[in-house]
Amino acid sequence: MIAAGTVVRTARRNAGLSQAELARRLDTTQSAVARLESARSNPRIDTLDRAVAAAGQQITVSVEPGFGLDESLIASALRIEPAERLRRFASAYASARALNAAAKQAFGS
């Protein structure tokens, strides 16, 4: 997923606009556009759509299967022999138990 601020900044730059020029098109301030382009911005979809449209572009939303799962990692794990998968699980479980015990000791639980 691409951050909203990156979408606005990319649209503005692709249109050859400065933040001030985009601000005029949106009837707002340059500092408001800068906030919209920041990595932490979380605008409503209509605000994002308006900003991108003011840069002469449009947003297209699509939903794709997989929901971000890396199916290649799943396929890779399934190629591991069952006995090796069990060994890895047992090792991870032992590490988790050791970590839990260390945390209890450190925090006095």
Classify residue 69 as left (phi > 0), alpha (psi -120 to 50) or beta: beta
Does residue 91 form part of some domain?
Answer: yes
What backbone torsions phi and psi does residue 48 show, to the nearest 5 degrees? -60, -45
Tell me the pLDDT tens digit for each residue of 38-65: 999 999 999 999 999 999 999 988 777 7
Tell me the pLDDT tens digit for each residue of 20-44: 999 999 999 999 999 999 999 999 9
Q: Which two tokens stand for residue 8?
A: 């606005």
Does residue 31 form part of some domain?
Answer: yes
Tell me the pLDDT tens digit for each residue of 1-16: 789 999 999 999 999 9
Q: Which two tokens stand for residue 46?
A: 């209509």
Does residue 80 form part of some domain?
Answer: yes
Helix axes of 45-54 and 19-26: crossing angle, nearest 10 degrees: 110
Count of CB atoms situated within 10 Å of the CB of 72: 8
CATH code, 49: 1.10.260.40
Q: How many domains does the chain have?
A: 2
For residue 109, is pLDDT > 70? no
